[in-house]
Amino acid sequence: MSKKLISFLTILFLILLISFLALFIRTQDRIYRAEDEAIQLVSYDYEVKKVNKFYWSTLDKTYFGLDFTDKDKQQHYALIAQDGGETQYFTPNDIISEEDAKAITLNDVKPFRILQMRLSLFNDQPVWEATIKNENGTLTYYTINAKDGSWIQTIENL
């Protein structure tokens, strides 16, 4: 290969690498901004000392979920509508934990692999949504009621 071709390919590779890096940073920035916005909204009602986990989900509407600890070291869950910022709060006594939801999903579905668990609202009730990767490479979304762990819906073979 000639030096010109190698130089051209190197420059092309660097441009592609920088473009993908910029795209990745932009998508991560949206997530961090959404988390910051959720914390600010929750801060009107609670003094957030520690964020345990942030969730972003879209079922019938888009919601931000926040698992956090307040100044009294009490754990809370906040579910915030992206449109309008309406917020609902739950305690660990109100809903099952992410670990319990994952265990229920593993027992009910026997998935190849659970990629992600997200806390959300669906038809105005708190739910856990599991994103499952099947052995054939397709995705399944398995939704359970966050109050009692009962099955709500399954969307398969995506």
Which tens digits make up the pLDDT trace of 141-155?
999 999 999 999 998
pLDDT at 127: 97
Query: Do 126 and 79 touch, CB atoms closer than 8 A?
Result: yes
16 versus 24: which is more confidently predicted?
16
Residue ranges matching CATH 3.10.450.40 in the chain: 98-155
Instruction: Write out the DSSP string of 79-102.
Output: EEETTT--EEEE-TTTS--HHHHH
Is residue 114's pLDDT more than 70?
Answer: yes
Is residue 87's pLDDT more than 80?
Answer: yes
Instruction: Write out the DSSP string of the chain.
Output: --HHHHHHHHHHHHHHHHHHHHHHHHHHHHHHHHHHHHHHHHTTTS-EEEEEEEEEEESSSEEEEEEEEETTS-EEEEEEETTT--EEEE-TTTS--HHHHHHHHHHHH--SEEEEEEEEEETTEEEEEEEEE-TTS-EEEEEEETTT--EEEEE---
**Burial of 100: CB neighbours in 10 Å, binned 0-12, 13-18, 19+:** middle
Q: Is CATH 3.10.450.40 what the domain over 98-155 is classified as, yes or no?
A: yes
25 versus 140: which is more confidently predicted?
140
Task: Output the six-digit token pair for 13.
Answer: 């590779």
Pick from 27, 78, 31, 72: which is nearest to 52 by CA? Answer: 78
Q: What percentage of the chain carries pLDDT values higher than 90? A: 53
pTM over 0.85: no
116 versus 28: which is more confidently predicted?
116
- The model's confidence at residue 29, banded by pLDDT at 50, 70 and 90, is low
Is residue 76's pLDDT more than 90?
Answer: yes
Tell me which of 23-27, 56-60, 85-89, 152-156 is least confident. 23-27
pLDDT at 1: 66
Pick from 79, 57, 58: which is nearest to 67 by CA? Answer: 79
